[in-house]
Structure 1
Amino acid sequence: MKTWVRASMLGLALLLGAQVAQAVDVVDERGVTVSLPQPPQRIVSLLPSLTEGVCALGACNRLIGVDRYSNSPAQVRALPQLGGGIDPNVEAVVALKPDVVLLAKSSRVTQRLETLGLKVIVLEPKSHADVRRVLGALDQVLGTHEAPAVWRVIDAAVSAAAQSLPASARGLRVYFEVNTGPYAAGDSSFIGETLARLGVKNIVPASLGPFPKLNPEFVVRANPDLIMVSVRSAMGLEQRPGWGSIRAVREGRVCRFDAEQTDVVVRPGPRMDEAARLMAQCLTDKGR
């Protein structure tokens, strides 16, 4: 066999081998193994934390469409918005011809998208451990090999935020309201995990669930030292029955997060280090 023929065959074999090596198999949160012929280049993300995860791993340029709530980093705001993550516009998703669709377990369109021939990967972080695990899964899908380094930076920054707190802030009893109702962040939520790492006490025990709806009197009786709440949810807070007697309200120890800050603190994703810094700043400013 001539040398050039052998070389060509060897080159073809190496090329085929490289293509096979690029194939991706990932087990998602349904326990389903999703197989992709290669790392996807056209990605639709229908959950803000997954959108942020893709970008944190350096693959933002592969996103071709997102849900209406994905707004970080800024460059994703120019992408087609495909509706809500739970019930997106299926026709619009299909029209983009994505290699893969990333969405939450709570989405109602997973089976329909698969029936229409799309590859779907279900991932939904709900805790600090989940954030690390989902970053690892996205890393595997994207072939980026960045997740370990990204997680180390996030984890170290959360620890640094905790270490920045003055002694006067440690051990404060905190109420974190995620929405009017009131719905609170319990001790078992990812927000509760962050508060615990910051060394403060959540007035809402884990036994009530991650995000329970509370009787407003519960907060009055608990009498927290400090309240964290969005600007929108804080409207009329002082006028709620009995809330004027709460120490945090009486002493002005209420942190009101604006819309952008609220997005950061209520999303379990790669910006959890930024969330920890915002909470730590609140505790520093209001916990003295």
Structure 2
Amino acid sequence: MNPLAVSLAWHRLVLGLVLAGCTLLAQAITITDDRGRRLQFDAPPQRVVSLLPSSTESLCEMQQCQRLVGTDRYSNWPESVRSLPKVGGGIDPNIEAIVALKPDVVLLSVSSRVSDRLEALGLKVVALEPKTHADVRRVLNIIGDLFAVPREQGADRLWRVIDAAVQAAAQSLPPRARGARVFFEVSRGPYAAGPASFIGETLARLGVRNVVPADLGPFPRLSPEYLLRAQPELIMLSNRSAQPPALYPGWHHLAAIQAGRLCIFGPEQADVLVRPGPRMAEAARLMAACLSEKFS
């Protein structure tokens, strides 16, 4: 082979290797989770275990449901995820069951106590903590970036839907509902949705006032007597159990209860309301419907 041909072949080989390396670098994904940890993936994860219902829903709304190989016991939407293997709850997951699914990544809460154990077993963990509207938007970005979903098709699109729905819900309220003093119980305790929570922020955008002070945090546990002093004009209860809700002692003295200004959201509606993800648009409509009914 003449020297010129050898030289050209060598240059083609080097160019091919460089282009291949650039392609691999382009496919590599780097994200920072809500623990502040920087994680790198050679490509979008193909096998995913989600221990957060909101992450399960976000992933599916970005048309990536097919990547899920297992979820926590509470992930129940969309319908297709109900048939997936269940690996316990976010607080008490089954480590052996998760490892057996051979996931490329596990999505879980920052407060989960199993992150270190899973990582010690060689699994990659992305910890997320959406508590506010800004958190939800950031988490949507993280999930979209992790699975290489373009922002315009994924996170940005979902947030526009949420934002527009909250705005439309606010505009639908009757004048009497505006400025109403509201209490929202997230779960039995009572655990309340404070102004700093994503639920509290939605209520604020609807134009109502939260009887829980911001300094108590996003989801404080209150004494039942607290409401007797706060005297909200309307109460929203998230009843995630299938059992009829029971009022706390003394609550029958509340003016809101006596006036019938109580909205009880059953299990399916409660799931929508308490999950910081793509169904926040529907949650805003549910809250607005309650306010419109009780103040019409």
Partner of 1:176, secondary structure, is strand
Of the structure 1 ranges 105-114 and 211-220, higher mean CA displacement relative to structure 2 is found in: 211-220
Residue correspondence of structure 1 range 208-219 to structure 2 within 5 A: 208-219=216-227
Residue in structure 2 matching 1:188, options 196, 213, 227: 196
Unaligned 5+ residue runs, structure 1?
none
Say if 2:46 is the partner of 1:41: yes
Unaligned 5+ residue runs, structure 2?
none
Residue correspondence of structure 1 range 84-233 to structure 2 within 5 A: 84-145=89-150, 146-231=154-239, 232=241
Alpha-carbon contact 1:226-1:287 (below 8 Å) kept: no
Alpha-carbon contact 2:131-2:218 (below 8 Å) kept: no
Say if 2:65 is the partner of 1:55: no
Identify the residue that residue 245 of structure 2 maps to in structure 1: 235
CA distance in 1, matches of 2:294, 2:231: 16
Partner of 2:189, secondary structure, is coil
TM superposition shift of 1:74: 1.2
CA distance in 2, matches of 1:156, 1:110: 35
Cα offsets for 1:134-187 (capped at 9, x unmatched): 011111110001211221121111111111111121111111112222222122
CA distance in 2, matches of 1:267, 1:210: 14
CA distance in 1, matches of 2:73, 2:223: 31
Residue correspondence of structure 1 range 271-286 to structure 2 within 5 A: 271-286=279-294
Residue in structure 2 matching 1:70, options 68, 75, 96: 75
Alpha-carbon contact 1:24-1:38 (below 8 Å) kept: yes
CA distance in 2, matches of 1:50, 1:168: 36
Change (3 A) 1:105 1:12: same
CA distance in 2, matches of 1:102, 1:213: 27
CA distance in 2, matches of 1:47, 1:180: 20
Residue identity in the other structure for 2:172:
S
CA RMSD of aligned residues (A): 1.9
Partner of 2:245, secondary structure, is coil
Residue identity in the other structure for 1:48:
P
Residue identity in the other structure for 2:287:
M
CA distance in 2, matches of 1:91, 1:235: 36
Partner of 1:174, secondary structure, is strand
Cα offsets for 1:186-220 (capped at 9, x unmatched): 22222111110100011111122222222222211
Cα offsets for 1:77-112 (capped at 9, x unmatched): 111101111221111111111111111111111111
Residue identity in the other structure for 1:158:
V
Task: Please report the TM-score for the alignment, with normalisation by the length of structure 2.
Answer: 0.90
- What is the percent sequence identity of the aligned residues? 60
CA distance in 2, matches of 1:160, 1:242: 36
Alpha-carbon contact 1:85-1:103 (below 8 Å) kept: yes
